[in-house]
Chains A and B, each alone.
Chain A
């Protein structure tokens, strides 16, 4: 056995990297896999709050790297899912406290123990990103269907190729089907055509994501919401299953518009 290391990154901040990492970790663990997620955002940690594990932190990533504790001691076990662990980031240090080779060493130590290691990369293209990508077997790029997020995703995909960590896989997060139908949001196909990498998931915009992160209960935990379902589908694809993409959008062609117009109360 040996874990696959998947790094979740985006270039731009605020597109949903941490939410994605937390939900994929939950979905993989619910599928029976042993999962460790690592918060790579030293100084701006958040994976702990999104997972609802913030009160249980004793040691962090930097403590492990600097030898103040053993790896095991920094792994917080999620009580809801016996096979899910978090290694939190340090909050009072910065990215330079860890090097890319530290991350490779840490993951190599974890590999024999688990099935998946998910690393939540910080935004940006500097040290924190390079730390997060260094041990990756698989890089997942998260983007939103809007200009700045797509542009930054393109930049980060280029850097991933340059680091010979490609080809990256794409998650289009926060797609709003109503806006797409109106012609006011890029479609998943548009984004794919622009970025030209393989898609691994589309996550619809869903207010459950906000209410669940308010509570520290990732949406994937109850699996009833659309976003939760999307994350479970992505986790299954990561395990090599063929899962069809949800049909979230319909390009607003002439006949669609016509039929909506004919429908009583339509458009």
Chain B
């Protein structure tokens, strides 16, 4: 029965799909010369700088590498914490 389900739902485990998914990640690293660890470091430093100026929710931040044609793009999605009132100085 499980076999039939696999057969119907398709090809997730087919080796070609694995090849494609693995290549996607490898090519991002090759093209940017940035390892996942370095990306994590970059993300932390970025958060530190931004939170010096505005309040953000570090857990909700998403920093990802996107591909557009042969161009790599660093995408940062940084939700701000709702500000009740502008601070009085």
Contacts and interface: CB of A to CB of B under 8 A. Distances in A.
A20 to B, nearest CB: 22
B contact face: mostly helix, strand, loop, or mixed: helix
Contacts of A186: 16, 19-20
Interface in B10-26: 10-11, 14-17, 19-20, 22-24, 26
A252 B14 CA distance: 11
B5 to A, nearest CB: 13
B70 interface: yes
A254 B19 contact: no
Interface in A152-201: 154-155, 157-158, 161, 180, 182-187, 190, 194-197
A189 B73 CA distance: 22
B27 interface: yes
Interface stretch (A70-78, A98-106, A143-151, A203-211): A143-151
B30 A197 contact: no
Interface residues of A, number: 24
B37 interface: no
B14 A183 contact: yes
A154 B15 contact: no
Contact of A197 (B20, B23, B31, B70): B70
Given A151-B26, A151-B27, A154-B27, A184 B7 contact: no
Most buried by B among A147, A197, A257: A147
A187 B24 CA distance: 14
A184 B16 contact: yes
A147 B18 CA distance: 10
B82 interface: no
Nearest to A167: B70
A180 B20 CA distance: 13
A257 B7 contact: yes
A196 B70 CA distance: 6
Interface string B36-48: 0000000000000
B19 A147 contact: yes
A71 B16 CA distance: 47
B8 interface: yes
Interface string A251-267: 01010010000000000
A180 B16 contact: yes
A161 B72 CA distance: 14
A146 B15 CA distance: 10
Contact of A190 (B10, B16, B69, B70): B16
Given A151-B23, A151-B26, A182-B14, 9 more contacts: A147-B26, A151-B27, A180-B16, A183-B16, A184-B15, A186-B19, A190-B20, A194-B20, A254-B8
12 contacts: A150-B23, A157-B70, A158-B31, A182-B14, A183-B15, A184-B14, A184-B16, A190-B20, A194-B20, A194-B27, A196-B69, A196-B70
Interface of B: 7-8, 10-11, 14-17, 19-20, 22-24, 26-27, 30-31, 67, 69-70
